[in-house]
Structure 1
Amino acid sequence: MANRTDALSRERIVATAVQMLDATGEEGLTFRALSAQLKTGAGAIYWHVANKSELLDAATDAVLAGATTVAEAAPEAEIRALALGLFDAIDVHPWLAGQLAQGPWKSEALRIFERLGQRVQALGVPAPAQFTSATALMIFIVGAAAQNAANASNAAKIRAAQPDASRTAMLAVESAAWEGLDPGDYPFLHDIAGQLREHDDREQFLAGVDLILAGIAALRPQA
């Protein structure tokens, strides 16, 4: 009969870690808590995963494996699909943002940066502008997705205290506050208050990607 250590697998440990990260964030993922969740000893987990850093990397890889798989298409379409895949993944798994924001030297972020860079090259961007172009995409995609996840987390806390506070209702309140600002001091916020109330986060995100892609297109040599 297999013992408890043999019954474990790296895949099961990582899948459980992802569930815990989704529920409690990185701070809630400890080997003691993971051991309790798996009903085993910490030593059995260490047999498969050396430390928390390795576990976080494995959890990140597991989530991103499906999220960043895109069908072959034109470079712009592949960039949009990759961006939306990351946006949706971070929306579901907010802790991902912290892992990807640690810098391009992290293996997971490095692979995403490489994929964006390849597509920037495929767009015919001159070599001196490739680094800046790929970096602008990477920073916007990860940063905007992280901000969206943070906004969703804050909204969830508000709804926990006020069950009737829907996203629509919260945006309406904020929009009304902007409309009530002195247009002499806040002309821009006053003008766009209605857009805040009606905007879709995902569509706004993709519009931002398209703005960057339009700027990148302007860098290509004109035929």
Structure 2
Amino acid sequence: MAASRARRPERREEPLSRERIVEAAIGLLDESGEGGLTFRALARRLATGPGAIYWHVTGKDELLGAATDAVVTGAMTAATATATAGATPREAVRSLAVGVFDAIDAHPWIGTQLARAPAQSPLLRIFEHLGRQVQALGVPQAAHFTAASALLNYILGVGGQNAANALERRPDTTRAEFLDTVSTSWANLDADEYAFTRSVADQLRDHDDREEFLAGVDLIVAGITALR
């Protein structure tokens, strides 16, 4: 009877690798944030044991770094392609800036990781790319560090704040509803103490996050080029 049974084909599973682990970690981080990334949850997702994962990564800190590096590398690859395709330094800066902005928007946990490890490779790659464009803009050597740092801090700061706003918004509330609520609260502030904030309340309601972000990048680049 055993010989007459149809033989089941052997199931061939993709071997566990560092790349698969990092990809699964990114998925968990996107779904549940840093708190949801545990080796037990990762082992369940990969249908393996925690010990097999430890063979490829030593701990959570290394895994967070690798996940951040993987996402930033994707954004950098697109930005570098733009820079090597004959784009002006200003266009190259905008390409990188919006790439990082979109990456943080899609993966809010990245902003925290970049701020937490300023000396590690993902952040350094962004800084290096910005610095090269600052050089290409003809900025004096003495102002290179200040100019590149201003761009980097703006990109990370606004990208991180945008992600924080998205997380703060209730799941059942749209972005438009959230902005309308905040705008209304601004418009009702004390007229003497918050005269300026009240005056731009309607602009807050109608603004586009991405366009405002790039407008800020343009302002910084315009100031940088004035250094020439």
TM-score, length-normalised on structure 2?
0.88
> In structure 1, what residue type is equivalent to 2:187?
E
Q: Which residue of 2 aligns with 1:151?
A: 165
Look up the equivalent residue of 1:219 and give its one-letter code. Answer: L
Please give the residue correspondences for 1:68-147 in structure 2 after superposition, counting only pairs within 5 Å.
Answer: 68=76, 69-70=78-79, 71-72=82-83, 73-147=87-161
Q: 1:126 to 1:54 in 2, by over 3 A?
A: same
**1:104/1:110 contact within 8 Å kept:** yes
**Does 2:73 match 1:65?**
yes
CA distance in 2, matches of 1:80, 1:118: 13
Aligned residues: 213
Please report the RMSD computed on the Cα atoms of aligned residues, expressed in angstroms. Answer: 1.8
TM-superposed deviation, 1:7: 2.1
Identity over aligned pairs, percent = 56
Partner of residue 57, structure 2: 49
Offset of 1:181 from its aligned partner?
2.1
Contact 1:104 1:113 in 2 (8 A): no
Runs of 4+ in 1 over 3 A off after TM superposition: 1-4
CA positional deviation for 1:212: 0.6
How far is 1:103 from its partner? 4.4
| Shift, 1:49, TM fit | 1.5
1:55 Cα deviation from its structure 2 partner: 1.3
| Cross-structure match for 1:195 | 203
C-alpha distance in 2 between matches for 1:169 and 1:23: 23
Deviations 1:1-52 (A, max 9, x none): 8998x82111111110000011111121111221122121111111111222
Quick check: 2:26–2:67 contact (8 Å CA) kept in 1? yes
- The TM-score normalised by the length of structure 1 is 0.90
Letter in 1 for 2:179: L
**Ranges in structure 1 where 5+ consecutive residues have no aligned partner:** none
- The 8 Å contact of residues 80 and 206 in structure 1, kept in 2 or not, is answered as yes
